[in-house]
Structure 1
Amino acid sequence: METPARKQRGADKTARIPIKIVPAERLKKPDWIRIKLGAGMEAERFNEIKATLRDHKLHTVCEEASCPNIHECFGKGTATFMIMG
């Protein structure tokens, strides 16, 4: 009776792959792509929403996608979430 072949798992399985994956350094976004929030009610609201999200350990679609217009939504007191997606 033949014995089944031993299944390879984890590092044993990927060790045979000739290409090694080298972690790349994360590049920062250039300064010209960043915006400066003005002072006032909208900036306060943005910080308030951001703090509330962190307190409740929540993450929005806008944050995960690095949306450049996030200040517009948060400044108006709105946030977008993906539920069970």
Structure 2
Amino acid sequence: MNRADRWLSVGSVVGVGIWVVLGWIVMDSDLQGVQEALTSWGIAGLALVPLLLMPAIAFFADEPGNGEAVAWADDDQPSRQCGGACGGCGG
């Protein structure tokens, strides 16, 4: 399991945990005070956190492994024939 997979697993567990806790707060009548303190907008906002967290984790934890091609390194290779326009090629 690489680093990205571990972060995605942790993020999934955190997301499910948030939804379980929010469901418990909404369904349990003994927690009416907590529900009123959070308000419906607060509960809705907290329910969206896992949906925003997972793409962020996937974006920042993604890293190339051993032997994998790096897409961003292959896109715009510098030209070897700059025709004297750049200062470093001496053309």
* TM-score of the two chains, using structure 2 as the length reference: 0.22
Larger radius of gyration: 2
Question: Given the two structures, how large is their TM-score scaled by the length of structure 1?
Answer: 0.23
